Amino acid sequence: MTEIKGIIPPILTPLDEEENVNEQELRNQVNRLIGAGVHGIFAFGTNGEGYALNETEKEQILEIVVEETAGRVPVYAGSGCITTKDTIRMSRKAKSLGADVLSIITPWFAAASQEDLMAHYREVAQAVDMPIVLYNIPARCGNALAPATVARLAEIDNIVGAKDSSGNFDNMLQYIELTKDKDFAVLSGNDSLILWNLLAGGAGGIAGCANVFPENMANIYNAFMEGNLEQARVCQDNIRAFRNCFRFGNPNTIVKTAVAMLGYPVGQCREPFDHISEEGIATIDSVLKSYQEKGIR
């Protein structure tokens, strides 16, 4: 089993002006992130606009990421769909394309009970012999994985972790507390909580900000593992000014815009999620320049 740990960027999906996948720039971003010391690559997660990609594009992206990563770090694939049947199909496809770990988001739009979610994940785990990381992001999906449900799912051998993007630290803390006697990794989906996740016994984070300054984000984890809590805290605190830019729009759009402003031809997010005010653009530009002056990258 792949060890679930560290800083794993949900790599953005570069697009050209016609909104087609920019293969060469995707390869460039894989190498840029790995070169900066990240501990995994997560294809078509939330920051990768997985919600806006069709299945053919997801297959194309995963093939590219797996090939370019070349085993240097684990590759995670977001294979969750609304139905169990489709999630199994997409998970099997991800396995056939060489993914190391599946990240499976909760079903969305239709309300699901905790027993519905238990049955969904249990059936997927039985059908696909791969490590599975649960993905809880109730603000986007409308369905939340309760701590007690995560504890029950952790009993299943190939359900090996959970990403919590609820933004509720106590929820993530309960995930950690209720699975501490299992071989189970809890990852923060909120970049501001990564260090606190580690201090509480978690395993790191799936960090959208790692697309913008991957070295800084990787060093939150690296410094912590070296016992240098002061440096880990510095790296954690470094992201505050950028995260304050999220008030100007969809965080995925802010992240992709920032990477483009750093000089990488990643394009815009797919319409209609591609608009930021002039004030927002100016603020992001100012923040990025201040980071460059401080050597934060």
Q: Which residues are catalytic?
A: 135, 163
State residue 204 phi and psi, 5-degree precision: 135, -140
Convert 252-264 to b/e letters by CB count within 10 Å (16 or more is b).
bbbbbbbbbebeb
Reported for 17-24, long-range contacts at CB under 8 A and 24+ positions apart, including other chains, are: 17/267, 19/267, 19/270, 19/271, 21/57, 21/60, 21/61, 21/64, 22/265, 22/266, 22/267, 23/60, 23/64
Beta strands in the chain (DSSP E): 6-8, 41-43, 75-78, 101-105, 132-136, 159-164, 185-188, 204-206
Tokens linked to 96: 């056939």
Q: Of 238, 216, 251, nearest to 290 (Cα)?
A: 238
